[in-house]
Amino acid sequence: MIEPIRLGVQRLGADLMAGTTLAMTMIPEAMTLAFAAGLAPLTGLYSAALMLLVISLLGGRPAMAAMSTPALVLIMADLAVTHGLRYLFASVIMMGLLQLGAWVLRLGKFIRILPQPVVLGCICGLTVEIFWQQMGYFHTPTTASGTWMTGTTLVSMLSICLVTMLLIRFLPRYVPYLSPGFIAIVVLSWICIGFHIDVQTLAEVTAWSGAPPHLQWPSLPLDMPTLAIVMPYALLMAIVGLSETLFTLNVTDEATNTRGRSNQECLAQGIANLASGCLGGMPGSGHFGQSMINLQNGGRSRLSTLVAVALIIYFSTSGRQWMDDIPVGVVVGIMLMIAFSTFELAFIRIVRKVPRREQVVTLLVAVTTLTTNLSLGMLVGVILSALGFAWEHAKHVRVFAHLEGDTRVYVLHGPLFFGSAQSFQGLFQPVSDPDRVVIDFRFSRVYDHSGLEAIEQLVERYSQAGKTLLLRHLSTKCRALLNAKAQGLVEVNLIEDPQYQIASDLD
């Protein structure tokens, strides 16, 4: 009886401290992203709280964090500068509706089929992106953008970052039930305040301005010109948002050895973005970096993210003075440690378990994700993985020949499709074959129109050589799509012939 209570208390404490650490790292990022999108920093905080609240209550993955991301901010910033904030909020509303449509159509399950090299490549690209984002905090805020810190300011920043990273790295060995990120924030903030150490604080890099959210429907005409402006941005944000959300869901499933509900997450994301747009807020999605912070600090239940919501709202209203004195170096150190540890795990898996061909795919996905965005990186990875799959399976088509009297029977093994069609042709020599030949497709499948054309070309080659060719064990669908000459050479066996569909535009 005592042991379950002890474990429950430990679990509760871990979620509380993980949620606190999550809030501390989300607040500066939310404010910074809002500023980058041309919105008031306080708008970023309220939007993050709203997004995280809806995901915590309705999402399909406990302990997964959600807020606006750099990829979404780039789209928002372009829309806000080009057309104005009214179109931005309308696009966020449309984005939510599109994501609800994805939930209705149950499209979330397709993220589960992402090849492992694509997932690892995206992880590497995102962790490098997270690392590079933190370098912006090493710029001097009082000078022009891009000027790096020097002197004692740089030494203080680097020292705090290093101490934070060391605490996160080694503290769990000695105090496994405490959140190392939370301890780093409390201890280092107390030291800097108590000893009057001159360091850069959150008050110096953020501004607490903006109004609380309120219901405001965009004052735009409901006509085709408005839709022509809103729809492309909304569609792009919906795709990017769902890609980042479902990718984060996939990674957190693997990290916790559990399984979230992808379609439920589509529902939660749609509701959250619809509400955010109606309240004049920012769009959001599942956040890879913040989710890893929550998980690695012990967050496992929805309580951790609900604690973060409560703290974000508190610090956005009456608790701002508690945030002002937190050293920026602590937050940067936490983010850097998450980036390093996540990249290390992904890199080890790539080196130890991934074949050389898939390592190339992983590298290209990482570079594409880093230089463009997650959606394009995933698209490139899926295309390259599909081509690699086709290439590998094209080499697996083969035949085994034997004689049945005066007839040579070829038993085909392996798939017949666009990748193996050329190899299929090279397996047969009509000139040297006997007058009667049978090709048995019992252990093969014809998958597409290229496979059909390969069969028809082989029929023509045997016809020109004056030989009789028979085709055995083709499916009904395959027979129907062959040309008339090839159809006349097919042996029909209603009991033994297989039944399957073919990807072709002829039916």
- One DSSP character per residue, 228-297 reads HHHHHHHHHHHHHHHHHHHHHHHHHHHHHT----HHHHHHHHHHHHHHHHHTT----EE-HHHHHHHHHT
412: left (phi over 0), alpha (psi -120 to 50) or beta: beta
Give the count of alpha carbons within 13 A of 85, CB side only.
Answer: 13
CA-CA distance, 173 to 159, in Å (whole number)?
22
pLDDT > 90: percent of the chain: 21
At residue 257, the pLDDT reads 79
Q: Residues 298-327: pLDDT tens digits?
A: 888 899 999 999 999 988 887 666 767 888
Q: With 70 as the cut, is the pLDDT of residue 135 above it?
A: yes
At residue 110, the pLDDT reads 65
CA-CA distance, 158 to 162, in Å (whole number)?
6
CA-CA distance, 494 to 498, in Å (whole number)?
9
At residue 470, the pLDDT reads 92
Show the tokens assigned to 77: 């910033």
Predicted confidence band at 146 (pLDDT cuts at 50, 70, 90)? low
Lowest-pLDDT range, 62-71, 171-180, 413-422, 430-439?
A: 171-180
∠ CA 422-426-430 to the nearest 5 degrees?
A: 130
Q: Residues 299, 63: contact at Cβ < 8 Å?
A: yes
At residue 318, what are phi and psi to the nearest 5 degrees? -105, -5
Q: Residues 315, 46: contact at Cβ < 8 Å?
A: no
CA-CA distance, 390 to 414, in Å (whole number)?
12
Predicted confidence band at 64 (pLDDT cuts at 50, 70, 90)? very high
The 3-state DSSP class for residue 441 equals strand
pLDDT > 70: percent of the chain: 87
Q: With 60 as the cut, is the pLDDT of residue 112 above it?
A: no
Lowest-pLDDT range, 140-154, 270-284, 469-483?
A: 140-154
Label the pairing between strands 436-446 and 490-491: unpaired
Total-model pTM: 0.65
Range with top average pLDDT, 265-279, 441-455, 478-492: 265-279
At residue 211, the pLDDT reads 60
Beta bridge partners of 398: 413
What single-letter DSSP state applies at residue 39? Answer: S
At residue 381, the pLDDT reads 84
Q: Residues 179-230: pLDDT tens digits?
A: 677 788 888 989 988 888 888 887 776 655 556 677 777 777 778 888 888 8
Work out the mean pLDDT of the chain and round it to a whole number. Answer: 82
The residue assigned the tokens 């931005």 is 88
At residue 11, the pLDDT reads 82
Q: Residues 331-341: pLDDT tens digits?
A: 888 878 877 87
Beta bridge partners of 444: 414
The 3-state DSSP class for residue 63 equals coil
Q: With 90 as the cut, is the pLDDT of residue 271 above it?
A: yes
Mean pLDDT of 424-446: 90
